[in-house]
């Protein structure tokens, strides 16, 4: 194995934290070990198959055979400099496969053959549940598998055997497990937003999937600690659907919480879709009226109509044209603040200027805009 070590300083807590990246000879599998001074002095390690890690989000999360569910995904970087940062727009291939260590004794050969149809392709960071509908064919132990195949710009993602970077999540229960623990709870409500951050005035599109057996209605409540808004949803159709809220206003300034409450009634006139073929607890009625609740957070980008430009004159430049200030040297720094709406200079604008040694930034494992809150040598407040 080849070993790379990345070190960064956390000045306020006065410790040094290490992250080790071990790359296997195949060039794809990586072992990430983080040694932190907090807690026991033992590293936490994870294995990755490629440059991105994948988290699959089934909606609803259910082990019931015959109940369709949608799938969304998030992807994060496994690269040294960007480890853990979200990487949206990645093409992800999703499928259901047999769990080699589990049991499928309750499944027929025809049901197992249908697994070849349980696959779809999605884009990470999205919430198009209708575009990826899967279903467990029978009571058995399976894996929900996702493979990141290409970045948003079309660049292929390397991985073992040319399949891209993959992740697997156990899903389903075999007949023995169902017999020991019969069906006793409804599939849970999962709500996904169409993006992580919104500007005031935007409309948020919430995606959900209704797996229940009775007429469903709901209410959406969103807001911050000062203001709230509500919207009634007279009918939530069976299967995947979306609910729009907005335009987002002051109730989402600084971010807001969104709660969707779904009320499911007992089916009318005995019109009931087939129930899953699994043992049912004697204390559980799958058709009984009930409610489901899900809460998510929406980030709200603050209005910023100021354009800031910084120029540094130090008398010397590097090979790439950047100004170079030698030790004990001086430089002239000019800050221009322009009103983005009028194009005129912004009078009385308050600017924070951070000066950090380049060598320190070379050790940081995160971008400068995050490092500002951790390592600040001199802060100047300028009035323009």
CATH number at residue 272: 2.60.40.1930
The stretch 20-31 carries a mean pLDDT of: 49
Domain count, the chain: 4
Tokens coding 136: 């467990």
Average pLDDT of the chain is 81
Q: 239 and 161 in one domain?
A: no
Q: Which of 28-37, 144-153, 253-262, 336-345 has the lowest mean pLDDT?
A: 28-37
Name which residue leads in pLDDT, 174 or 165: 174
Among 157, 180, 203, the domain-final residue is 180
Complete DSSP assignment for 275-342: PPSS-B-TT--TTS-EEEEEEEEEEEEPP--EEEEEEEE-S-B-TTS-B---TT---EEEEEEEETTT
Phi, psi of 357 (to 5 degrees): -60, 130
Among 242, 274, 301, the domain-final residue is 301
Q: 324 and 255 in one domain?
A: no
pLDDT at 270: 66
What whole-number distance in Å separates Cα of residue 147 and Cα of residue 358? 38
The percent of residues above 90 in pLDDT, for the chain, comes to 52
Q: 66 and 37 in one domain?
A: no
The stretch 181-210 carries a mean pLDDT of: 95
Q: Are strands 69-77 and 133-134 parallel, antiparallel or unpaired?
A: antiparallel
Q: Are strands 204-210 and 228-233 parallel, antiparallel or unpaired?
A: unpaired
Name which residue leads in pLDDT, 316 or 225: 225
Q: Do the domain assignments include residue 187?
A: no
Q: Do the domain assignments include residue 329?
A: yes
- Identify the domain containing residue 171 by its residue range: 52-180
Among 180, 213, 228, the domain-final residue is 180
pLDDT at 289: 96
Q: Do the domain assignments include residue 186?
A: no
pTM: 0.70
Asked whether the predicted pLDDT for residue 366 surpasses 60, the reply is no
Question: Cβ contacts of residue 95 below 8 Å, gap of 6+?
Answer: 115, 118, 119, 120, 144, 145
Collapsed DSSP state (helix, strand, coil) of residue 161: helix
Residue-wise pLDDT for 280-315, tens only, equals: 999 999 999 999 999 999 998 776 667 788 888 887
Which of the four pLDDT bands, split at 50, 70 and 90, describes residue 331? confident
Which of the four pLDDT bands, split at 50, 70 and 90, describes residue 15? very low
What whole-number distance in Å separates Cα of residue 80 and Cα of residue 58? 29
Q: Do the domain assignments include residue 134?
A: yes
Query: Residue 201: is it exposed, middle or buried by C-beta count within 10 angstroms (0-12/13-18/19+)?
Result: exposed
Q: Do the domain assignments include residue 93?
A: yes
């Amino acid at each position: 194995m080849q070993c790379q070590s990345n070190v960064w300083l956390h000045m306020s807590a006065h410790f040094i934290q290490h992250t080790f990246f071990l790359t296997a000879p195949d060039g794809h599998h990586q072992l990430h070990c983080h040694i932190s001074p907090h807690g026991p002095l033992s590293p936490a390690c994870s294995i990755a198959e490629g440059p991105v890690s994948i988290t699959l989000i089934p909606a609803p999360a259910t082990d019931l055979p015959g109940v369709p569910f949608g799938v969304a995904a998030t992807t994060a970087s496994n690269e040294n400099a960007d480890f853990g940062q979200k990487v949206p727009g990645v093409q992800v291939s999703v499928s259901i496969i047999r769990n080699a260590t589990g049991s499928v004794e309750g499944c027929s050969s025809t049901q197992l053959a249908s697994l070849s149809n349980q696959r779809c392709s999605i884009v990470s960071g999205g919430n198009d549940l209708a575009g990826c509908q899967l279903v467990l064919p029978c009571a058995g132990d399976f894996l929900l598998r996702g493979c990141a195949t290409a970045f948003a710009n079309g660049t292929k993602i390397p991985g073992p055997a040319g399949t891209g970077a993959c992740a697997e999540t156990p899903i389903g229960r075999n007949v023995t497990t169902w017999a020991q623990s019969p069906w006793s709870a409804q599939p849970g409500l999962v709500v996904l937003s169409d993006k992580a951050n919104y500007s005031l005035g935007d409309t948020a599109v919430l995606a959900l999937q209704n797996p229940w057996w009775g007429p469903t209605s709901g209410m959406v409540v969103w807001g911050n600690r000062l203001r709230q808004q509500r919207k009634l949803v007279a009918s939530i159709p069976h299967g995947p659907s979306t609910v729009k809220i907005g335009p987002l206003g002051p109730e989402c300034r600084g971010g807001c919480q969104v709660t969707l409450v779904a009320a499911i009634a007992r089916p009318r006139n005995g019109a009931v879709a087939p129930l899953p073929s699994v043992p049912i607890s004697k204390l559980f009625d799958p058709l009984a009226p009930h409610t489901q609740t899900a809460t998510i957070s929406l980030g709200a980008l603050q209005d910023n109509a100021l354009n800031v430009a910084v120029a540094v004159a130090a008398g010397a430049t590097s090979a790439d044209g950047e100004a170079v200030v030698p030790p004990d040297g001086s430089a002239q720094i000019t800050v221009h603040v322009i009103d983005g709406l009028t194009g005129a200079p912004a009078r009385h604008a308050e600017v924070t200027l951070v000066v950090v040694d380049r060598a320190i930034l070379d050790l940081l494992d995160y971008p400068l805009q995050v490092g500002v809150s951790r390592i600040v040598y001199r802060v100047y407040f300028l009035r323009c």
